Structure 1
Amino acid sequence: MTKLTNNQKKFLRSKGHSLKPVVMLGQHGLTKGVLAELESSLETHELLKIKVRGDDREDKQRVIDEILKTTRAHLVQVIGNVMVIYRAFDKEPQLILPRK
């Protein structure tokens, strides 16, 4: 998986700004059901906004890392308890990223 450039992240942040969180992690954390929902959502949306609850910064970072590893997505940004991830469609990507 190639790394996103700063310019590409900026482009994706601008697209993700108006999105509503599609998946919200609650008190039960990152369950198999949540991961299945994330995978399903990434099949229909290349860019997702996810609300991650957690007071402990380390726990939240572990959850973010696990989401990225499991979904094979790129982290676009994290602001507070909201993260934006990006994974291009295998066939016919909808979002055309700026050149590197």
Structure 2
Amino acid sequence: MNKLSSSQRSYLRSQAHHLDPVVLIGKNGISDGTIEAVNKALDARELIKVKFREFKDEK
């Protein structure tokens, strides 16, 4: 997987700004089900938004 440049990340972030979160990650963290949901979402669309519900203070 190639790394994105800062300008590429900025562009994708601007494109994703209006999107609603497709995958929510809660207190149980990332599981096999979460990874499967992300893969299915990426198969359906090119860009997805993931929201972390529990780890807001840990950035």
TM normalised by structure 1 equals: 0.51
Q: Report Cα offsets for 1:37-86 as digits up to 9, x if no partner.
A: 011111112211111122562xxx6xxxxxxxxxxxxxxxxxxxxxxxxx
Letter matched to residue 24 of structure 2 = M
Return 5+ residue gaps in structure 2 as ranges. Answer: none
Q: Return the letter of the residue paired with 1:41.
A: A
2:29 paired with 1:29: yes
The structure in which a higher percent of residues are strand is: 1
Secondary structure of residue in 1 paired with 2:49:
strand
Other-structure match for 1:51: 51
Higher relative contact order (CA closer than 8 Å, sequence separation 6+): 2
After TM superposition, the score normalised by the length of structure 2 is 0.79
- Aligned position for 1:66: none
Task: Find the residue that maps to 1:28 and give its secondary structure.
Answer: coil
RMSD, matched Cα: 1.7
- Structure-2 residue corresponding to 1:92: none
Letter in 1 for 2:19: L
